[in-house]
Structure 1
Amino acid sequence: MKQIVLKKLNSNLTNDSFGNAPLVRSSSAQVSPFRLNAWAVVIALLSMQGMSAMQVMAQVKQAQSATVSAMPTATPNSSPNTSVQTYTLPRLVDAANPQAKDLIQLFQEAAQFDPTYNAAKYAYTAGRETYWQAFSVLLPQITGSYSTQSTDIRYDPNLNNVANRKDYVFSNSGWTLSLSQPLFNWAIFEKYKQGDLLTGVAEANFAQAQQDLIVRVSQAYFDALTAQDTLDLYLNKKGLINEQLEQAKRNFAVGTATIVDTNEAQSRYDLVIAQEIAAQSDLLVKKSALEQIVGQPIMAILPLSKQAKVETLRQERVVKYLADSKGKLATNDIIEALHLATGNTIEDWVKQTEDVNYNVIVSRLNTEIAKSNYRSAQATRLPVVSLQASTGYNNSLGNATSSAPNTYYANQIGLQVSVPIFTGGLISSNARQTAALYDQSLSTLDFVKKSNAVASKQAYLGFTNGIAQIKAYEAAEKSALTSLQSNRTGYNVGVRINIDVLNAQDQLITTQSSLYKARYDAIMNGLKLKSLAAILTDEDVLAVNKLLH
């Protein structure tokens, strides 16, 4: 980022051999006792009294002694300040660092290690199984069983009436194969439709997670750039104020300025120290947030190029629409075959967001699921018809009354019809509940569409107006720099006061901070707009990555 080159820097601001700024110490300035302007007093005394030079100097010394003894020592601060030490962190944004990573590298790492994205990926894998689970209830249900049993009956000889009884040992075994095929069951047919819809929900959620990953990585990346820029600006501001403070001290020492100039510069210097500490903390927080997403420690990242043209990210809108009622997006081949006009007005973006945004698709699918649940609840009043069939084999080697073996096969087939007659009001209650949930899903769908419409308008205006803001801030930066130079020149020749120079410094730093943030915000609004319209891809990440060093 653009830095103001100072002609004279205090030794505390000099970088060490490793490129890191050393410990910066800020202490209250020690100002010598107030001294009268000797030459002004000489001229005044000579004009009022015709004294000799020796007499004049004697009067000056007496006046100085009397003033010092009558007044307390004047210092820039009424109370002594303790020394404030700030430790400058190693630079996070450093194009010269060989370990510096760009946006593409961080995005690839996040795709592997980001827990939010991984959770969405596993949820998608699990969600795909709902279709097969729902489809399975339409297929025949076949079960098999096998059993074997051995019986040993022995009578107690001590009991009465056992003379004609014999001990028996017999066994039996068999197997059974059963089949159940639903012929008419509207409730499970609705469950099958829900399985298809739930799979669509899983796919849409995962597609949104992919787009969210691009937005989250980019946002964390540019938040880190903003934090580093803010810290750099405060360090630069501290150097400017320190130079102005030293000049105010020198002017006060020779009597060409009052103590007010020194106090003003000292107060601004103390304030920028506090701002620097806050900026260091914010940089650490933003770095940690980026590391949490990518799952890896980050040594350095690349800055945005000074010559980056954010307007190059402007691309025509890619038209997308739903291919069917299940929420699936049409392929590019279908879209191109229709020769739809690609508009880029704010209404075009809002319309596409309301139609094919992945969150809107999820809400639309949830509405269809709620409607299916209502139909399923109503269907429980209908009869259920199913085909039942079974085959089995039994081998019995005797029983309690006969020792003759008994072996046979058994085959059965039948039609089963069941009709609910009285369920205690359960069916009616379920119908009322699912009807209310369907109404709730409609309201949720309307809310999601309106929310995304507002978000797309904000992103569209943020991007288009952001381009204009960048140009305006670039012109304002040049004007603020010229104003600072003019005020410093005016201060040196006596036509400007110290506060004018300090205000010009603040204006320059504020303008530069706004310029850097406007660039990052414009890029992010462009990415968010495409994400809302469900057209954000890896190509957009590559386009942004080209703007980095």
Structure 2
Amino acid sequence: MKPFTFLLISLLSHGLAWSGKFQHAYEAALVSDSTFRAARSELASVLQNVPLARAALLPNVALSVSDSRVKGNRTIDNPPGKPVTSPLDYRSPVQSLSLRTPIFHREASKKYELAQAQVSYAEAVLATHHVDLVDRLADAYLQRWSAEYALRAARTQVEASQAQSDLARRRFQLGEGTLTNVSEADTALEMARVLLTEAQNKLEVATLVLRHITGGGYVPLDFVVDALPANVLNAQIAQVPTETLSEYISKAQTSSPTIAARKQAVVLAQLAVVRNGAGHYPRLDVVASVQSSRNDSLSTLNQSVSQRSVGLQLNVPIYSGGYVSASVTQALADQDKAEAELAAEIQRVTKDVTELYFMVANTPAKIQAMQQAVTFAKLALEGAGKGVPTGFTTQADVFASQRKLTQSQYNLAQAIHEHMLARVKLFGRTGAAPEKVTTYMDAVLMNY
């Protein structure tokens, strides 16, 4: 069994066995999470930019067919005599096939390169959303677990407070206690019930968040209590990072999905500068057409025309009101912005990796200390409970000890939550595949 498995199942002096699988939740989230589906659809949309841009580099063939029926009158002036008017009634069929194919079109070529870069950028952005999905899912999954644990602790506290309240009433009826003791016990019970309600509400919210991510397609987190030796936690502490901080930072700077996306954004901005500058270049096309017509106009009435043409067409931009120059200046500013954002992202990822590294490295000692705090809180509660009949302690002392124990238990669960989430995020920042995260989560939480 994995060392960290013992860490989790030894909360308090009990073990918590998981019946669900994080892999199931992950697979459901890939299909159901709205944010990730939006990113996937955005990539599908951007993919169409490539064929759209390529179309400007391919031949354009058009067929035009028309057939008109003309009716009317034609009057011809006859200066020596009177004008002559004759009726018109004829058809004018026209068929035309035209072809245009570019020979040199720099702007279209650069648009095609830009479209390919846009696809690479969209894929990098989707990878960042993938990492974000795993982070959010792991957080929601662990929040659900923490809320379940907090609810169980709150129920235990209500049961203990109820028992103390019943004991205070019996002692008061026997003349061994005071009305103050009863009031303190009742107050403690009411406070415990309030805490139970809050825990139930937190569980509902945590479950709702998890369902929103997975679409409800997750295995419920049911726990089976199994007593374990109290020293399991100390003997089987979580593993610390096996690489140095500098190695993690180097790996993040080369493999982080967010940094990769920013690098693609810089490439995209650089290509935009070149593409906008291509507006200064001329365009050369081959133009060809085949046309057949009859009665195309009054001057060709009762005549059929069939013609073919082929040639070159050169378009040279001379002046466009400064549009191209302004677009290049704008693209250069966008390039500077993209480069600055890349530098900022590298700094942010370096900071995140440093924080996560220290959290992963330091929390095992914190977890061990919190396990000891739970042990001491249990002893304090036992002592407070035993001191009530003798008058050395009061119901208020028992309630305070119960609250301290519950808080210690919750703090221990939260420390384990934070440790696992930090490790998951460290995986993501250093470019680990999401499958590695799901394997880790299942090995820790559910592989026993």
Query: Please, what TM-score do these two structures have when normalized by structure 1?
Result: 0.69
Report the 3-state secondary structure (helix = DSSP H, G, I; strand = E; otherwise coil) of the residue aligned with 2:73. Answer: coil
Residue number among 388, 394, 419 corresponding to 2:292 in the alignment: 394
Q: Which residue pairs with 2:244 in the alignment?
A: 345
Q: Which residue pairs with 1:367 in the alignment?
A: 266
Q: Which residue pairs with 2:102 in the alignment?
A: 181
Quick check: 1:222 aligned with 2:142?
yes
Check the 8 A contact 1:204/1:362 in 2, yes or no.
yes
Distance in 1 between residues matched to 2:225 and 2:267, nearest whole Å: 48
Quick check: 1:470 aligned with 2:367?
yes
Residue 506 (structure 1) shift: 2.1
Distance in 2 between residues matched to 1:218 and 1:402, nearest whole Å: 79
- How do 1:488-503 residues align onto structure 2 when only pairs under 5 Å count? 488-503=385-400
Distance in 2 between residues matched to 1:383 and 1:482, nearest whole Å: 84
Quick check: 1:416 aligned with 2:340?
no
Residue number among 421, 445, 452 corresponding to 2:342 in the alignment: 445
Quick check: 1:194 aligned with 2:117?
no
Code of the aligned partner of 1:452:
V
Change (3 A) 1:419 1:163: closer
Residue number among 104, 108, 116 corresponding to 2:23 in the alignment: 104
Task: String of CA shifts for 1:227-264, please: whole Å, max 9, x gaps.
Answer: 11111111111222222233333444444444443333
Q: Which residue pairs with 1:148 in the alignment?
A: 66
Residue number among 118, 125, 146 corresponding to 2:44 in the alignment: 125
Residue 371 (structure 1) shift: 2.5
Quick check: 1:207 aligned with 2:106?
no
Quick check: 1:116 aligned with 2:116?
no
Q: Which residue pairs with 1:433 in the alignment?
A: 330
Q: Which residue pairs with 2:206 in the alignment?
A: 286
Distance in 2 between residues matched to 1:163 and 1:133, nearest whole Å: 57
Residue number among 262, 283, 290 corresponding to 1:385 in the alignment: 283
Residue number among 457, 471, 478 corresponding to 2:354 in the alignment: 457
Query: Please, what TM-score do these two structures have when normalized by structure 2?
Result: 0.83
Change (3 A) 1:480 1:409: same
Residue 527 (structure 1) shift: 0.8
Code of the aligned partner of 1:514:
N
Task: String of CA shifts for 1:372-423, please: whole Å, max 9, x gaps.
Answer: 223333332x2313123212132325863565533332222124041222x3
Report the 3-state secondary structure (helix = DSSP H, G, I; strand = E; otherwise coil) of the residue aligned with 1:301. Answer: coil
Structure whose alpha-carbon radius of gyration is higher: 1
Code of the aligned partner of 1:373:
A
Change (3 A) 1:140 1:112: closer
Change (3 A) 1:349 1:152: same
Distance in 1 between residues matched to 2:124 and 2:409, nearest whole Å: 41
Q: Which residue pairs with 1:91 in the alignment?
A: none
Change (3 A) 1:313 1:104: farther
* Structure 1: segments with no counterpart, 5+ residues: 6-93, 317-343
Distance in 2 between residues matched to 1:269 and 1:113, nearest whole Å: 42
Quick check: 1:524 aligned with 2:442?
no
Residue 154 (structure 1) shift: 4.5
- How do 1:23-62 residues align onto structure 2 when only pairs under 5 Å count? none
Check the 8 A contact 1:383/1:417 in 2, yes or no.
no
Q: Which residue pairs with 2:53 in the alignment?
A: 134
Aligned length: 426
Q: Which residue pairs with 1:540 in the alignment?
A: 437
Code of the aligned partner of 1:223:
Q
Task: String of CA shifts for 1:31-70, please: whole Å, max 9, x gaps.
Answer: xxxxxxxxxxxxxxxxxxxxxxxxxxxxxxxxxxxxxxxx
Change (3 A) 1:406 1:263: same
Q: Which residue pairs with 1:233 in the alignment?
A: 153
Code of the aligned partner of 1:116:
T
Check the 8 A contact 1:313/1:544 in 2, yes or no.
no
Change (3 A) 1:262 1:536: farther
Residue 202 (structure 1) shift: 1.6
Residue 283 (structure 1) shift: 1.0
Code of the aligned partner of 1:122:
S
Report the 3-state secondary structure (helix = DSSP H, G, I; strand = E; otherwise coil) of the residue aligned with 2:104. Answer: strand
Check the 8 A contact 2:113/2:271 in 1, yes or no.
yes
Code of the aligned partner of 2:307:
Y
Distance in 1 between residues matched to 2:425 and 2:351, nearest whole Å: 12
Check the 8 A contact 2:34/2:213 in 1, yes or no.
yes
Q: In proportion to residue count, which structure has more helix?
A: 2
Distance in 2 between residues matched to 1:510 and 1:459, nearest whole Å: 25
Check the 8 A contact 1:313/1:543 in 2, yes or no.
no
Check the 8 A contact 2:137/2:213 in 1, yes or no.
yes
Q: Which residue pairs with 1:171 in the alignment?
A: 92
Code of the aligned partner of 2:418:
D
Bigger RCO of structures 1 and 2 (CA < 8 A, at least 6 apart):
2
Distance in 2 between residues matched to 1:142 and 1:368, nearest whole Å: 30
Greater shift in the superposed pair: 280-289 or 434-443: 434-443
Q: Which residue pairs with 1:264 in the alignment?
A: 184
Distance in 1 between residues matched to 2:296 and 2:344, nearest whole Å: 74
Code of the aligned partner of 1:114:
D
Distance in 2 between residues matched to 1:105 and 1:468, nearest whole Å: 32
Distance in 1 between residues matched to 2:248 and 2:11, nearest whole Å: 38
Change (3 A) 1:402 1:216: closer
* Structure 2: segments with no counterpart, 5+ residues: 1-8
Code of the aligned partner of 1:190:
K
Check the 8 A contact 2:11/2:413 in 1, yes or no.
no
Code of the aligned partner of 2:141:
Y
Greater shift in the superposed pair: 194-203 or 532-541: 532-541
Distance in 2 between residues matched to 1:398 and 1:503, nearest whole Å: 103
Check the 8 A contact 2:25/2:218 in 1, yes or no.
no
Check the 8 A contact 2:94/2:296 in 1, yes or no.
no
Task: Quote the RMSD (CA, aligned, Å).
Answer: 3.3
Check the 8 A contact 1:101/1:300 in 2, yes or no.
yes
Check the 8 A contact 2:95/2:293 in 1, yes or no.
yes
Distance in 1 between residues matched to 2:24 and 2:204, nearest whole Å: 20
Quick check: 1:295 aligned with 2:232?
no
Q: Which residue pairs with 1:242 in the alignment?
A: 162
Residue 180 (structure 1) shift: 2.9
Q: Which residue pairs with 1:77 in the alignment?
A: none
Distance in 2 between residues matched to 1:418 and 1:304, nearest whole Å: 79
Report the 3-state secondary structure (helix = DSSP H, G, I; strand = E; otherwise coil) of the residue aligned with 1:148. Answer: strand
Residue 370 (structure 1) shift: 2.0
Check the 8 A contact 1:170/1:403 in 2, yes or no.
no
Distance in 2 between residues matched to 1:3 and 1:533, nearest whole Å: 30
